[in-house]
Amino acid sequence: MIFDYEMLKLIWWILIGVLLIGFAVTDGFDMGGLAILPLVAKTDDERRVVINTMAPHWDGNQVWFITAGGALFAAWPLVYAAAFSGLYWAMLLVLFAMFLRPVGFDYRSKMQDQRWRDGWDWALVVGGAVPALVFGVAFGNLLQGVPFQYDELIRPSYHGSFFALLNPFALLCGIVSLSMLCLHGATWVQMRTHEAVEARSRFYARIFALVCFITFALAGLWLTVGIEGYQIVAMPATDAASNPVLKEVLKAEGAWLSNYANYPLTMIAPALGFLGLIGAYLFASANKAALAFLFSGLGITGIILTAGVSMFPFVMPSSLVPNHSLTLWDAASSANTLMVMTWAAIIFVPIILGYTFWCYRALWSKIGVSFIKENNHSLY
């Protein structure tokens, strides 16, 4: 083998992180832009301006989410099984909210009735805001531990409820996620529009940059002093066959910060998050929307990396039986499966990226109300 089993496990932890970041950076501006639709667009024509900046791209961006879900199932089947059984209702909420986007884009302009269009516009707002919020809530619960355990046959059982997921720390993480993507959406709309919509987007980009900066800092402080982390005390060799119940794990205050203490270079992750948010605020204020969008993407990358570095090597900690927590070392598929997936990623990911960049370049332009009126029957 070119890569040994231990290396393959680490590679797929990195690749799934890349897929999540790709999803947040690309599909994130769709969700964020739709979530702020009533704030930046006041008339029907202005709402069509905002919608037409993202409608041609949303389905391609959604591929990142689908690919991440498929990779999670193939690379970490134990995580997939535990998460989709225990967090079933939260997953359904996200999926049903996402269903509103394609039908909203396609149906809102089918009729001239304003009530019809207003109804679909609110459906698009829900389709953007709800997933953005729930994804953050999910990460907040992962950092606290999920109430699941395994029996003697390695069958997972979940012992929580949907409303238990809505605890204060998880909701704070949800606000971080929602404000982060609203910032990203605002900088995208600012970059792609003219006139009043652009001015409002610039204003709200600064608002959401501040909200995200403050809540991200508060979440980090809360994680430092109020949330117990997880620490591996003993476990089998990292290249051994996957078995999640053969290790010893302890919970301790400040354990989520141990990676930063042991590997100071990892401090780049939270620094990148804060730097990206500051840069997005400053460049949005200076009306340099392209740079604001770039720094917003850097902020998203830093925030997601911060969560990943804090939890490493844990993927889904168990609050019921810490020893049953899932890590990248004991939740992975076989070596052959990971090897096939690695070669597939090496071949197809560059092709997908190339096609994605071509689509953005081909459809790139600034859109204003006059453009909508001139192309009334050929746009969303």
pLDDT confidence band for 368 (50 / 70 / 90)? confident
Partner residues linked to 248 by β-bridges: 234
Residues 6+ apart with CB under 8 A from 235: 246, 247, 248, 327, 329, 330
pLDDT tens sequence across 133-144: 999 999 999 999
Question: What pLDDT, on a 0 to 100 scale, did the predictor assign at position 378?
Answer: 62
Question: What pLDDT, on a 0 to 100 scale, did the predictor assign at position 60?
Answer: 81
Residues 6+ apart with CB under 8 A from 360: 57
Average pLDDT over residues 159-168: 89
Q: Which has the closest alpha carbon to 351: 21, 67, 56, 24?
A: 67
Say which range, 36-45, 74-83, 207-216, has the weakest mean pLDDT.
74-83
Confidence check: pLDDT of 1 > 70: no
Looking up tokens 């990226």, which residue turns up? 353
Encode the chain in three state secondary structure.
CCCCHHHHHHHHHHHHHHHHHHHHHHHHHHHHHHHCHHHHCCCHHHHHHHHHHHCCCHHHHHHHHHHHHHHHHHHCHHHHHHHHHHCHHHHHHHHHHHHHHHHHHHHCCCCCCHHHHHHHHHHHHHHHHHHHHHHHHHHHHHHHCECEEECCCCCEEECCCCHHHCCHHHHHHHHHHHHHHHHHHHHHHHHHECHHHHHHHHHHHHHHHHHHHHHHHHHHHHHHHCCEEEEEEECCCCCCCCCCCCCEEEEEECHHHHHHHHCHHHHHHHHHHHHHHHHHHHHHHCCCHHHHHHHHHHHHHHHHHHHHHHHCCEEECECCCHHHCEECCCCCCCHHHHHHHHHHHHHHHHHHHHHHHHHHHHCCCCECHHHHHHCCCCCC
Say how far apart CA 51 and CA 60 lie, in whole Å: 15
pLDDT tens sequence across 22-63: 999 999 999 999 999 999 999 988 999 999 888 888 878 888
pLDDT tens sequence across 298-357: 999 999 999 999 999 999 999 999 999 999 999 899 899 999 999 988 888 888 888 888
Average pLDDT over residues 247-261: 91
